[in-house]
Amino acid sequence: MKNVLVIGGAGYVGSHACKALARAGCTPVTFDDLSTGHDWAVQWGPFERGSILEPTSLDRVLKKYDPAAVMHFASRISVGESVQKPEEYYEVNVTGSVNVLEAMHRHGCRSIVFSSSAAVYAGTGDALLAETAPLAPANPYGHTKHLVEQLLSEYGDDHGFRAIALRYFNAAGADPDGEIGEDHEPETHLIPLAIKAALGLEPGLSIFGDDYPTPDGTCVRDYVHMNDLARAHVLAMERLEFEGGVDFINIGGGDGRTVREVIEAVKKVSGRDFPVSVAARRAGDAVRLVADIARAEKVLGWRPEQSDLTTVVETAWAWHAKHHGGA
């Protein structure tokens, strides 16, 4: 069984990728500082605690496990916070990624699947966003992802790295087996916030702006289920085994939903009502981000299988109801 180093493997997306890797016959080695991840999420391989801001700890784990490939998930992820604390985002997301790439280069590991984001796009207009759409990040978080994508291209040219950056849209839902799910503190994502309001763990839910040029005035987003997202990472890694170069591929559900539509789906699945208020627009939020996923199908043979909104919300509800208060 080949080792795959999963940086940020104790986090929401990384832990689902670890489970998918184990099912594919690999040994996922989780490397995480547990600043936002959880030790209980490490269930499918060894755990090594360390930070991407500490090159010596990266050297240690690469030397110990000699991985065939790296999956890199570790980053700061809140758009709103990135506007308030841009220096922290550039340090962790960019400097940390440079450390990862340099450590890989030192140890002769040159295959990496990178967790990028739809935040690299401008996110305006009605068209689906293809990989050829203009890259115009609206916030520091998006800028950091764009910068790392550029680094991947440079390492591909200069050092022969093989890399795929998966630009995923809104990661959502939970493991249908109930073993892992979303648990951020503080929580900033819409679906878990709505579910916590339905569970009575929050007094209500705020919508950030209802005057956008969309059908109901709220932002439009594309939701992709965690199982679909994890499967895409495994397919990307497998492609790197026989395909060189650096590529950028959208991973999304291919279907846009407004904030209000998501809230109504949570109310329907949970059978519970909760207060919803409208707050001011949030700095850095794009109007509409919906993926054109044709390239993912062409290059990876991937299409979403569980990313319809009902399945996403049902699996997320089951996870939160079980782990955060009971239904």
Which residue numbers are catalytic?
Answer: 141
Residue 247's φ and ψ, nearest 5 degrees, are -135, 160
Alpha-carbon distance of 32 to 235, in angstroms, equals: 23
Q: What is the chain's percent helix, strand, coil content, to nearest 5?
A: 40, 20, 40
Whether 229 contacts 13, CB under 8 Å: yes
Token reading at 33: 């500082």
* CB of 34 closer than 8 Å to CB of 15: no
- Write the CA distances from 184 to 37, 190, 213, 311, 314, integer angstroms: 8, 12, 30, 21, 19
Query: CA-to-CA distance for 33 and 49, rounded, in angstroms?
Result: 5
CA distance 72 to 4: 10
CB 69 within 8 A of CB 112: yes
The 8-class DSSP code of residue 228 comes to H
